[in-house]
Amino acid sequence: MKVWPPIAATLFALFVWQIIVTLTGVQKFILPGPALVAEAWWYNRAVIAEHTLITLIEILLGMAIGTALGIATALQLATSKVARTLVQPILVFTQALPVFALAPILTLWLGFGLWSKIAMAVLIIYFPVTSAFFDGLMRTPSGYLDLAKTMQAHPSRVLWKIRVPAALPSLGAGVRLAAVYAPIGAVIGEWVGASRGLGALMIMSNGRAKTDLMFAAMLTLGVMSVLLYVCVAKLTRRLGDRET
């Protein structure tokens, strides 16, 4: 991918933003220009870094736990018809519930610390990971399974030697989705109740009309999410052609 077009587009967007702010003369607590936001970001860089680290820890732990749970569930569903019949409808039902609405109760249960945010991230990414990996496990090319059958293969070996490796690209797609959703989960958790993390910093800045700091925190979250996605994408692309 070429690096210059997106950078040029970003600079252009910042330019337009600054022009709008300058021409309309809008109050800076309503909409600060990019120059002011950059200034606030630099002035508060230590504070932002501290909150970013907290949010990043929540996201990474949430992703690790959510992915592990998703993998375990998908394997369980793929190998057991009973599990499919019992669990699958519940799984879809839970997806119909707005997870955001659970944020206050999670804070009540798990407290204001890291764990209520990690739980939010886990809840948000659990289904995409489970669903992507499960679909991959159920879509093993039928020719592979025919071949395995004529070889008198043991079912558990078919799972680990054929079905799982064939489903790894699907799992990769699920984990990439998780990298996009996990930050949303963590920040929602922080909005509902936290003293630390970028979400908490945004709420606090907003309350004190420090709109420039709010924007600085938000843009930091955006940049961090993009970097996270790029790293995860690089890691998961390798899943496709891994030697087992």
Partner 1 sequence: MTLAPSITFQGQASIEGRQLFAPLTLCLDAGRWTCLLGGSGVGKTTVLRLMADLPTGADFDGSIVATDGLPVVDRVAYMAQDDLLMPWASVEKNITLGAQLRGQTVDVVRMERLITRCGLQDHRTKKPSELSGGQRQRVALARTLMEDKPIVLLDEPFSALDAQTRAAMQNMAAELLQGRTVMVVTHDPGEAARLGHAIQVMTPAGLTAVTPPTAAVPRAVDALETLTCQSQLLTLLMGQAA
Write down the number of H helices and E strands in the chain: 11, 0
Of the candidate residues 37, 48, 71, 148, the single one contacting partner 1 (CB under 8 A): 148
Of the candidate residues 26, 29, 47, 157, the single one contacting partner 1 (CB under 8 A): 157
Q: Give the contacts of 94 (CB within 8 A, at least 6 positions apart).
A: 127
Q: Does 81 bind partner 1 (CB under 8 A)?
A: no
Q: Report in angstroms the alpha-carbon separations of 19 from 27, 31, 35, 216.
A: 14, 12, 11, 19
Contact region for partner 1 (CB under 8 A) — 107-115, 151-159, 178-186, 205-213?
151-159
Q: How far is the CB of 71 from partner 1 (least distance, A)?
A: 17
Q: How far is the CB of 81 from partner 1 (least distance, A)?
A: 16
Q: How far is the CB of 18 from partner 1 (least distance, A)?
A: 50
Of the candidate residues 25, 101, 152, 234, the single one contacting partner 1 (CB under 8 A): 152
How far is Cα 95 from Cα 132, in angstroms, rounded to an integer? 14
Q: Does 230 bind partner 1 (CB under 8 A)?
A: no
Q: Does 235 bind partner 1 (CB under 8 A)?
A: no
55 closest CA partner among 203, 176, 175, 174: 203
Contact region for partner 1 (CB under 8 A) — 156-164, 175-183, 193-201, 225-233?
156-164
Q: Does 139 bind partner 1 (CB under 8 A)?
A: no
Q: Which one, 66 or 165, has the nearer CB to partner 1? A: 165
Q: Which one, 45 or 157, has the nearer CB to partner 1? A: 157
Contact region for partner 1 (CB under 8 A) — 40-48, 108-116, 150-158, 207-215?
150-158
User: CA 221, 226, 229 angle in degrees (round to 5)?
Assistant: 125
The answer to whether residues 170 and 132 touch, using CB atoms and an 8 Å cutoff, is yes
Q: Does 5 bind partner 1 (CB under 8 A)?
A: no
How far is Cα 241 from Cα 239, in angstroms, rounded to an integer? 6
Q: Which one, 28 or 161, has the nearer CB to partner 1? A: 161
CA 219 to chain centre: 16
H runs (alpha helix) in 81-207: 81-96, 103-110, 114-138, 142-150, 155-158, 164-192, 198-207
Q: Which one, 141 or 222, has the nearer CB to partner 1? A: 141
Neighbours of 97 (CB within 10 A): 10
Residues lying near partner 1 in the complex (CB under 8 A) are found at 141-144, 146-154, 157-158, 161-162, 165-166, 168, 240-244
